[in-house]
Homo-oligomer: A and B are copies of this chain.
Amino acid sequence: MKATIITIGDEILIGQILDTNSRYISRALNAHGIVVAERTSIGDNRAQIIETLDRALAQSEVVIITGGLGPTKDDITKHTLCDYFGSTLRYDEREAEHIRTMLEVRNIAFNELNRGQAMVPECCTVLHNAHGTAPGMWFEREGRVVISLPGVPFEMQHLIDDEVMPRLCKQFELREIVHRTMITFGIAESILAERIAAWEDALPEYLHLAYLPAPNVVRLRLSAYEVEGKEVSREIDAQFTKLQEIIPNNIAGFEEASVEELVHNILTEKGLTLAVAESCTGGVIASKFTAQAGASTYFLCGVVAYSNDIKCNVLGVKYADIERVGAVSEAVAMSMADGARAISGANFAISTTGIAGPTGGSAEKPVGTVWIGISTPTKTYAVLKHCGTDRSQIISRASAYAIALLYEELKSIK
Contacts and interface: CB of A to CB of B under 8 A. Distances in A.
Interface stretch (A106-114, A139-147, A167-175, A330-338): A106-114
A15 B26 contact: yes
Given A71-B193, A283-B286, A38 B36 contact: no
Contacts of A356: 290, 293
Nearest to A256: B16
A112 B283 contact: no
Interface stretch (A80-88, A244-252, A304-312): A304-312
A52 B13 CA distance: 18
Contacts of A52: 38
A301 to B, nearest CB: 4
Interface residues of A, number: 111
Interface in A252-283: 256, 276, 278, 281-283
A60 to B, nearest CB: 12
Counting chain B CB atoms within 10 Å of each CB, which of A24, A153, A303, A309 scores highest? A303
Contact of A13 (B17, B26, B109, B111): B26
Contacts of A345: 309
A266 B394 CA distance: 26
A313 interface: yes
B295 A282 contact: yes
Given A188-B106, A212-B16, A290 B304 contact: yes
A74 B304 contact: no
Given A15-B30, A41-B22, A301 B290 contact: no
Interface in A284-343: 284-287, 289-291, 293-296, 299-307, 309-310, 313-314, 343
Contacts of A48: 37-38
A108 B190 contact: yes
Given A15-B26, A39-B40, A188-B106, A302 B300 contact: no
Interface of A: 10-20, 22-27, 30, 36-44, 48, 52, 70-75, 103, 106, 108-109, 111-114, 131, 152-154, 157, 177, 179, 181, 188-191, 193-194, 200, 208-213, 221, 223, 256, 276, 278, 281-287, 289-291, 293-296, 299-307, 309-310, 313-314, 343-345, 356-360, 388-393, 395
8 contacts: A12-B39, A16-B179, A70-B211, A152-B213, A282-B290, A287-B287, A290-B306, A301-B303
